[in-house]
Amino acid sequence: MRLYALILTAVFGLAANIGHADDAAPESLGFFGQATSAMQQAGSTMQEVLLSALALSGTPYKFGGISPETGFDCSGFVRYVFNQAANLTLPHGARAISQLGKSIPVDQLQPGDLVFFNTLKKSFSHVGIYLGDGRFIHAPSSGGGVDIVNMNDAYWTKRFNGARRLDKQVVQQQGNIDATE
């Protein structure tokens, strides 16, 4: 899975240096083309968030985990990525994170938005980072590692609770996290 993340990172880097290819629509290029297009449209901070998340692909799951050295749980993964890439210190816990930012309808999702699911028979018990094209990256339950999945799969569609967009100004106004420049 780390190889997959390295390939995505290389594709994104090349796409950023090559510029816009007018010959083919992103949809015709499959996930890589769509993800590259999404990366080009995302702001530089969100590009860093996405690249940081992808670089951690394959990191083992650990309940309560907060670092690549020890492993991650879902909120530890999101917290670590946003701290490293966007200098935001989020709370640990999917439910606590779900209180931050702005609620986003599913049809307005953008790369870097947070997606929340009911995986423990409790609302907002799981969180991941939306990548684009219906996919998100997350730290799944025990036995897995940080992975990319399709949120349109029946399992995730049935459990979807909502999405949030973290914006430094909005988050700072909410006073729930430390957001330093």
The 10s digit of each residue's pLDDT in 12-64 is 443 443 333 344 444 444 444 544 555 555 568 899 999 999 999 999 999 99
State the pLDDT at residue 177. Answer: 47
**CATH class for the region spanning 45-179:** alpha beta
Q: How far is CA 32 from the centre of its chain?
A: 16
Domain assignments of the chain as residue spans, ordered by start? 45-179
Q: Give the active site residue among 8, 74, 146, 166.
A: 74
Phi-psi region for residue 130, left (φ > 0), alpha (ψ -120 to 50) or beta? Answer: beta
**Is 74 part of the annotated catalytic residue set?**
yes
User: Model pTM?
Assistant: 0.76
**Which H or E element spans position 48?**
helix 44-55
Looking at residue 139, its pLDDT comes to 97
Determine which one of 138, 165, 166, 177 is catalytic.
138
Q: Please pick, among 26, 56, 79, 126, the residue that the annotation labels catalytic.
A: 126
Task: Quickly list DSSP for 110-178.
Answer: -TT-EEEE--SSSTT-EEEEEEETTEEEE--STT-BSEEEETTSHHHHHHEEEEEE--HHHHHHHTSSE
Residue 145 CA, distance from chain mean position: 14
